[in-house]
Amino acid sequence: MKNKTELQDFLDAKYHQYNCTTFIANDPVCIPHLFTKKQDIELMGFWAAVLAWGQRITIINKSKELIARMDGSPYDFVLNHQASDAKRLLGFKHRTFNDTDALYFLTFFQNYYQQHDSLEDAFLLGMTQKNETIESGLINFRTLFFDHEFAPTRTQKHIATPANNSACKRINMFLRWMVRNDSCGVDFGIWKRIKTAQLICPCDVHVDRVARKLGLIERKQTDWQTALELTQNLKKFDAYDPVKYDFALFGLGIEDKF
């Protein structure tokens, strides 16, 4: 790309190409789209995002298996399950995520939703409208998530945090789904208290590769600072909604033309 204007025009075109309902079917975002109830969307959006590594079709199938194990009603199952019901998650496995992790997620969510109407509250801990990014929200969310005497040490690897300098790709993707609000039908926009300008671009292998080739990332490694660098550069094109370009970068990555 010769200049900023040309690059922005290119990314805007790709954003509009991929931010459409045809994108949904082959992406993990199709999982929360199976539901209409806010809490079901939150729960399965979060779970699908956490499971989002490997082939997308496998991620989708494992998420659907999880839904089936919860009788097709995740929020009702989470809120009202008894110890005997929890056994339905025994044997669940996706890569390094296993039933120990699934059972702890179930415990956390039951305790949480008994006290809160929305998972958005959990990401607002220590946050204000003045925060430039969601960073403190992510750090405090992970602390809350594992604030239980029976929290398995092994499960901690599944919830990333900027405190460990992780790029937090999966949670940033989940937050994009919940917060971004447009008329295109992919992202949900059901959370209103986190600003789109506070979101950080999910930095997976596709996005990372394309962003580097377009000169949007200079940092050698891929970590939290890299995600901040990418997002800051995307804000030059849209300060209000920089993560909309996740569609463009990811789409170019799966086109495999970069």
Sorted by where each begins, the domain ranges of the chain are: 4-255
Query: How far is Cα 202 from Cα 80, in angstroms, rounded to an integer?
Result: 33
Q: What is the pLDDT of residue 257?
A: 65
Beta-carbon contacts of residue 147 (< 8 Å; ≥ 6 apart): none
Q: What is the pLDDT of residue 3?
A: 84
Q: What is the pLDDT of residue 184?
A: 96
Q: What is the pLDDT of residue 181?
A: 94
Judged by DSSP in three states, 11 sits in helix
Query: How far is Cα 224 from Cα 166, in angstroms, rounded to an integer?
Result: 5
Mean pLDDT by 10 residues, the chain (258 residues): 85 96 96 98 98 95 98 98 96 98 98 98 92 97 96 98 98 98 96 97 95 96 97 98 97 82
- Which residue pairs, CB below 8 angstroms and at least 24 apart, start in 195-199? 195/129, 196/240, 196/241, 196/242, 196/243, 197/235, 197/239, 197/240, 197/241, 197/242, 198/127, 198/131, 198/132, 198/133, 198/134, 198/137, 199/133, 199/134, 199/172, 199/175, 199/231, 199/242, 199/243
Q: Please name which of 187, 209, 207 lies closest in space to residue 23, comparing C-alpha atoms.
A: 187
**Residue 97 phi, psi (nearest 5):** -90, 120
Q: What is the pLDDT of residue 167?
A: 98
